[in-house]
Amino acid sequence: LAAALLVTMADTPELMDEDEPFFSNLDIFLFSLIAGLLVYWLIFLPQNRSCIGKNIVVFYGSQTGTAEEFSNRLSKDAHRYGMKGMSADPEEYDMSELSRLPEIENSLAIFCMATYGEGDPTDNSQDFYDWLQEGDADFTGVKYTVFALGNKTYEHYNAMGKYVDKRLAELGAQRIFDLGMGDDDGNLEEDFVSWREQFWPAVCEHFGVEATGEESSIRQYELKVHSDLNMNKIYTGEVGRLKSFENQKPPFDSKNPFLAPVSVNRKLNKAGDRHLMHLELDITGSKIRYESGDHVAVYPINDSVIVSRIGEVLGVDLDTVISLNNLDEESNKKHPFPCPSTYRTALTHYLDITNPPRTNVLYELAQYATEPKEQENMRKMASSSPEGKALYQSWVLDSCRNILAILEDLPSLRPPIDHLCELLPRLQARYYSIASSSKVHPNSIHICAVVVEYETKTGRVNKGVATNWLKSKMPTDNGHKATVPMYIRKSQFRLPFKSTNPVIMVGPGTGIAPFMGFVQERGWLKEQGKEVGETVLYYGCRHKNEDFLYQEELEEFEKTGVLTALNVAFSRDQAEKVYVQHLLKKSKEAVWRLVHTDNAHIYICGDARNMARDVQNAFYEIAEELGGLSRAQAVDYIKKLMTKGRYSQDVWS
């Protein structure tokens, strides 16, 4: 109101004359007042959207995009049953509004919840998780179901999905279908499809509705081709704000990554057929802060050869400027990726074109196969029949066929490129354990990674998107500085608060990464005159003369006493394979003393499926033998260490 009066007075000086009526220029006053209220609403009021108005609301907790993908599929399914469905990010909604859902006839809330790290919520569901823990909402009358996404090789399998399922019931909500359990160590797609095929008949029975019989493809977006758009209004790879790569503004996060110049890119291994690399990203002036144990997320780009080949096979001009606009005007998701853009930009920066496509993509594309047998096989692979599942497993997954390989091997399949772009999932950021300490390298983030490259059963060579892209990022490229879009993801993988606590680190291969940061930090603490507990490392590689990563640095740390003990397993330098778990058992007395008597913290980094499990079993055996415990007691002993934060894992599958 004050601003409106000031503007009015500035524009009409006669208002200051006491002989004039105060609101002689009422239009200016009202316009200023409305503008002021609008600015206030935009800046100060919470931007929580409403999800009320739909029958089916599918919330997703997603870190790598899979839960979001499943959420989109379920919301599209709803239309086949005459319902209105929408996919929703809990971060963007006032979740207390769920209590109003029963006001809508035949309403249902579905939760596709992924578990991240050590049983943690994903970034976008953290606030929802905190609210569920603290809140006392009354969800009486709210009908819900949960599909959980996780990996059985992890200690806290599907913890987030289980928690949401249990907590909603405690708050009075009614579960109308059993919790679905998706295991990414097996076949996550198959788990989801099997659950979904039982879920929808249960929904129909519960609400007394029937499928419309509409099984053909339902488009979610419509294509708009731009012929005369200003080039400054077209996205060229930015994740969020247009031109954010040209005009960088902190704070930097997943929607606003920092373009970090590459200052170092060197090969770590001395020989062998693999390429292991060490990169250093310069974060000077970015205001980015990190701690040892955090992850750096990088946004890679796809191989231009694959992108061009897709355009060639489909016979399209990839430089056509397009937008894909959501047909549901009420949806908060206006486009599947930043638009307007070109097909080339979408396939290069925004879409996942290298992973084997999921069954729903095959199902929707099948209509475009003009050869009956090819169409039949695509539909079969998308079905839940044992024969179809086996065909999908062998022809797509086991053969590592990406979308280009499928188009090349099915000559009659030539879908419209806009529908293909609608169906392909988003290209996700890749996470790497930071291999440096901010105490020693405040303006630099180090990455240690192995370049992924392998031959498939079809004779094609598949390359890891991020690692091959990073490999090409040399500090100077024709006089220009090579940059990497990145941001920091905080982790619970932390050195003990007390520097006097001993640490036992187990990390074979590139699992050494966070421990380089840990050791650097312990060395820095020593230099500051702090008392530092024993620092013990168990590291493993194939051959001492080939892939002993950071050998010189580690041996120097041992020489100066920063590393109390450097135990290295060279698995292939002798007839019998030797791994880190063997070295742990070999020094079991020292290990048990550190853990049981000296309150050591244990850290494991690397492969979840084999190494982490084998190392955990080694600790069970040491506890049994030297602690005089039964296997059940030993398991309980280690689980208590985990609960206390003294046994931490940073593992991947």
Check which CATH number belongs to the domain holding 628 and give it: 3.40.50.80
**Rounded to a whole number, what is the distance in angstroms from the first to the last CA of the chain?**
58
Q: Looking at residue 14, what is its pLDDT? A: 42
C-beta separation of 324 from 222 below 8 A: yes
Residue with tokens 């990464």: 513
**For the CA atoms of the chain, what is the radius of gyration?**
28
What distance in Å separates the CA atoms of residue 341 and residue 319, rounded to the nearest whole number?
9
Instruction: Mark whether 178 and 326 lie in a shared domain.
Output: no
Residues making up the annotated binding site for FMN are: 62-67, 114-117, 149-158, 184
Instruction: Mark whether 435 and 292 lie in a shared domain.
Output: yes
Q: Looking at 153, 181, 207, which one is the last position of a domain?
A: 207
- Token pair of 456 as six digits: 């498939």
Q: At what angle do helices 631-643 and 613-627 cross, to 10 degrees?
A: 120
Q: Looking at residue 35, what is its pLDDT? A: 60
What distance in Å separates the CA atoms of residue 303 and residue 463, rounded to the nearest whole number?
9
Residue type, 221: Y
Task: Provide the number of structural domains found in the chain.
Answer: 4
Give per-residue burial for 59-98: e unless 16+ CB within 10 Å, then b: bbbbbbbbbbbbbbbbbbbbbbbebbbbbbbbbebebeeb
Instruction: Mark whether 419 and 451 lie in a shared domain.
Output: no
Question: Where does 398-454 have alpha helices with state H?
Answer: 403-409, 417-423
Cis peptide before 340 (omega within 30 of 0): yes
Instruction: Mark whether 467 and 515 lie in a shared domain.
Output: no
Report the CATH number at residue 164: 3.40.50.360
Instruction: Mark whether 138 and 80 lie in a shared domain.
Output: yes
Instruction: Mark whether 559 and 614 lie in a shared domain.
Output: yes
Selection from 467, 422, 425 nearest residue 448 by Cα: 467
Q: Looking at residue 44, what is its pLDDT? A: 39
Residue 135 inside a domain? The answer is: yes
Residues making up the annotated binding site for FAD are: 430-433, 448-450, 454, 464-467, 652
- Burial label, 45 (beta-carbon count in 10 A; 0-12, 13-18, 19+): exposed
Instruction: Mark whether 356 and 274 lie in a shared domain.
Output: no
**Catalytic residues, which ones?**
433, 605, 650, 652
Residue 405 inside a domain? The answer is: yes
- Token pair of 81 as six digits: 């049953």
pLDDT averaged per 10 residues in sequence order, the chain, 653 residues = 49 43 56 60 40 77 93 89 88 90 92 91 94 90 97 90 96 96 91 93 89 69 94 95 96 96 96 96 97 97 98 98 92 92 98 96 96 97 92 96 98 98 96 98 98 97 98 86 96 96 97 98 98 98 96 97 97 94 97 98 94 96 97 97 95 84
What distance in Å separates the CA atoms of residue 407 and residue 307, rounded to the nearest whole number?
13
Residues making up the annotated binding site for NADP(+) are: 274, 510, 571-572, 577-581, 614
Cis peptide before 201 (omega within 30 of 0): no
Selection from 158, 160, 144, 167 nearest residue 74 by Cα: 144
CB atoms within 10 A of CB 650: 23
Residue 144 inside a domain? The answer is: yes
Give per-residue burial for 242-279: e unless 16+ CB within 10 Å, then b: eebbeeeeeebbeebbbbbbbeebeebbeeeebbbbbb
Instruction: Mark whether 290 and 434 lie in a shared domain.
Output: yes
- State pLDDT tens for residues 480-524: 899 999 999 999 999 999 999 999 999 999 999 999 999 999 999
Residue 232 inside a domain? The answer is: no
Domain range enclosing 151: 56-207
Instruction: Mark whether 519 and 483 lie in a shared domain.
Output: no
Q: Looking at residue 211, what is its pLDDT? A: 74
C-beta separation of 374 from 412 below 8 A: yes
| Pairing, β 85-88 against β 483-489 | unpaired
Instruction: Mark whether 317 and 408 lie in a shared domain.
Output: yes
Residues making up the annotated binding site are: 62-67, 114-117, 149-158, 184, 274, 430-433, 448-450, 454, 464-467, 510, 571-572, 577-581, 614, 652
SS3 300: coil
Q: Looking at 491, 514, 535, which one is the last position of a domain?
A: 491
Measured in residues, the chain has a length of 653
Instruction: Mark whether 174 and 306 lie in a shared domain.
Output: no
Instruction: Mark whether 513 and 542 lie in a shared domain.
Output: yes
Report the CATH number at residue 281: 2.40.30.10
Sheet holding 601-607, edge to edge: 565-570, 535-541, 503-506, 601-607, 647-652
- State pLDDT tens for residues 324-379: 999 988 787 899 999 999 999 999 999 999 999 999 999 999 999 999 999 999 99
Q: Looking at 491, 520, 537, which one is the last position of a domain?
A: 491
CB atoms within 10 A of CB 2: 7
- State pLDDT tens for residues 17-30: 444 444 446 666 56
